[in-house]
Structure 1
């Protein structure tokens, strides 16, 4: 049981290290964007109440295995979930977005996003989705990022209440050089090759 506890702790630490290693991503943005903080806190809260861990740290009498097993299961699920979110999101993608997040006045404002394709031989089409279509407008919604090239998005915020929990989701698919319509590949229901999330903060 102690070995399981150590393995779970190691998994959490490796995920955290992976996050810290990616310098261009702000800790606050990641926590806010992927909602991993509640999972980690809940898991650790239960984990550090585990009798087995207390026994290992403070030499107290351990309770039976069956009483501490549920706590470890909860921690395992929480850490595996957060680790998958870290791995899938922090993995390098051929297209990057700059700036990585948008801050605009809640009263109204606009911002430009630049999409840069580092793949020298792969052309991508993209589709932009928003968690708040009532207060945000994006142009274009569909488009291409040429191989080794760049594209631009214009994001407009309409007047409304402050909000810091919205985001843009930019879906990407590789396409042939002669594909004329960026919308068509998404109409087939194909899963995107990767997705970039851009937090939207209106104050």
Structure 2
């Protein structure tokens, strides 16, 4: 696998919360990444696009807003980019995608805080 994410899964309270993830590039090349999700209503991601330098990591913050519990997925897509590339969106707008890793997120209703 060229790109990995840690932790590889996560559980949020249905009442919401924030978790920090690390995206690792284990190659000798620079990668651009794009984050997609199956639930844009309950989640916010920062950054949506970014770069991971060779043999390095980038931070990814996922915020869950309050909402009904369910399992959701995040797709972290990546593409090789040249060192001079300044726009992480560029390879994806051009149709480039080399790989994808899936992050599964679940929520726990018992943590909702309802009496």
Report if TM-score (shorter chain) is over 0.5.
yes
* Larger of the two Rg values belongs to structure: 1
Q: Could you tell me how far 1:157 is from its partner in structure 2?
A: 0.1
Q: After the TM superposition, which segments of 4 or more aligned residues of structure 1 sit over 4 Å from their partners?
A: none
Distance, in Å, in 2 between the alignment partners of 1:140 and 1:133 is 14
Structure 1: give runs of 5+ residues left out of the alignment. Answer: 1-92
Distance, in Å, in 1 between the alignment partners of 2:95 and 2:84 is 20
Count of residues in Structure 1 that have an aligned counterpart in Structure 2: 108
1:189 to 88, 91, 95: 95
Q: Could you tell me how far 1:117 is from its partner in structure 2?
A: 1.2
Distance, in Å, in 2 between the alignment partners of 1:95 and 1:181 is 19
Distance, in Å, in 1 between the alignment partners of 2:48 and 2:88 is 10
Q: Which has the higher helix share?
A: 1
The normalised TM-score by structure 1 is 0.52
Distance, in Å, in 1 between the alignment partners of 2:73 and 2:68 is 15
| Relative contact order, higher structure (CA 8 A, sep 6+) | 2
Q: What's the counterpart of residue 34 of structure 1?
A: none
RMSD: 0.7
Question: For 2:91, what is the secondary structure of its paired residue?
Answer: helix
Q: What's the counterpart of residue 71 of structure 1?
A: none
Q: Which has the higher strand share?
A: 2
Q: Could you tell me how far 1:189 is from its partner in structure 2?
A: 1.9
